[in-house]
Amino acid sequence: MNITELKPQIVWKFFHQITQVPRPSKKEGKIIEYLKSFAQEYNIPIKVDEAGNILMSKPATPGKENLPTVILQSHMDMVCEKNNDTVHDFENDPIETIVDGEWLGAKGTTLGADNGIGMAAELALLASNDIEHGPIECLFTVDEETGLTGAKALKEGFMTGDILLNLDSEDEGEIFMGCAGGKDTQAIFHYEPQPTDANLVYLAINIKGLNGGHSGGEIHKGLGNANKILVRFLYLLGAQVDFTLCSINGGNLRNAIAREAQAVIGVASKDKETARILLNNFTADIENELKHVDPNVRIIMESTEQPETSINEECKNRLIWALHACPHGVMGMSHDIEGLVETSTNLASVKMAPDNTIIVGTSQRSSIESCKNMIANQVASTFKLAGAEVKHGDGYPGWAPNPNSKILKVAQESYKKLFNKEAKIMAIHAGLECGLFLEKYPHLDMISFGPTLRDVHSPNERIKIDTVDLWWSHLLELLKSIPAK
């Protein structure tokens, strides 16, 4: 089935167009040009700020002029992740979508429904002439995924609305009224390259087949982290045989759970069989531990060519110990909202750089500011003890729930009217831009809602097709149900 034949057609039409425009974080130039051409085609007033954020506006439909102005908001950029065997250039190639039963996904890459589907809904509203609504403003922000720099750069006065509908949530039938804040912690190890020994045999170890996923929305699932699995094996190996570590790399983005990791090691030929037996036993343990959440995990060790250099022994040990000790996963559950993760940390990436450094990327989240700083400092302490250089990012604030929100009440009532059932009122552990909006626009009354997405920030990302129609219907009912000022 062609994506543009799905219901509601106008939303899917624009989503398809968005998938054809490359839009990596920090490289949103092409999608900005697309949005400008859309505004020109539909004669929509448009503003672009210095950061690249875009605001389009549309007057009320007849009879709705006395309603308050509503801001609809989504972000332009997408997480660019692909399987190792997929050939795809995210800066130039369109996303290839696939309808698979009740789901829409992509061929070997992230889909970009996070947050392309939110953008598509905004464009559908702006392009339509048969939808009842008061005055609306549509905000499209840049670089949400790698630093929220668009939301941070937003200036006072760019928007005029009093109500904001964030379209960046991932469960239809759930209305979000709060989110966690976040912070990044980076550790840098400096190593001395050593010449490798031709008398050793060299082995490449690869962790593959993990699902990965969003380090906020899916951290509670206990998914396998390729970095943790790899370093766990290296720690066990070091207790049995001497080995040199020639290279180590794993994970990619700070807000994605690492799906793949690789290392090249050198061992004496007499120890090769010991290493292989250890790996077989270790693999069986990992497969048993992850059988319910990551049944396709694979740990492969095979011979490889001799590299030119290895990491000096002292740095190798400090790195492995620190990575093994570094916390990952859920650190605490909320006492206010049942089932909500309060605090977590993600061991996101391990990258070797050309300047003889190894850079470890981690991210921390919490709905309590003091706990966010505590877990960031705990991660920092782990790496400081190992002699690494540690840096923290600026972070971003959480969005404190407001149970007295007027737009939340309207959203609840309109959902019940449409579907004769109650929407779930939630807070989300993933980060949203809403906390940053409140810093500049403290009067805003906000909620976040969206259709059902799964495995975002991974090549398994997919959107449940029928939930887009349900979410769209709710959005339209909500817009026409907002009471007058």
Core vs surface per residue 235-259: b (16+ CB within 10 A) or e: ebbbeeeebbbbebbbbbbbbbbbb
**Cα gap 370→483, rounded to integer Å:** 38
100 is annotated as an active-site residue: no
- Enter the DSSP assignment of 24: B
77 is annotated as an active-site residue: yes
Token pair 């290392």 in the structure block, residue: 263
Q: Which of 137, 143, 144, 171 is catalytic?
A: 144
In sequence order, what DSSP letters do the residues of 50-99 get, joined into one string?
TT--EEEEEPPPTT-TTSPPEEEEEES-B---B-TT----TTTPPP-EEE
Please state the separation of Cα 463 from the chain's center in Å: 15
**Cα gap 3→140, rounded to integer Å:** 23
Contact indicator for 470, 451 with CB cutoff of 8 Å:
yes
Tokens of 420: 């004769």
In sequence order, what DSSP letters do the residues of 256-317 get, joined into one string?
EE---EEEEEEE-GGGHHHHHHHHHHHHHHHHHHTTTT-TT-EEEEEE-PPPSEEE-HHHHH
User: Does residue 182 sit in helix, strand or coil?
Assistant: strand
End-to-end alpha-carbon separation of the chain, Å? Answer: 44
Contact indicator for 392, 185 with CB cutoff of 8 Å:
yes
What are the CA-CA distances from residue 58 to residues 100, 117, 130, 132, 136 (Å)?
36, 20, 13, 12, 5
Question: Which residues are marked as active site?
Answer: 77, 144
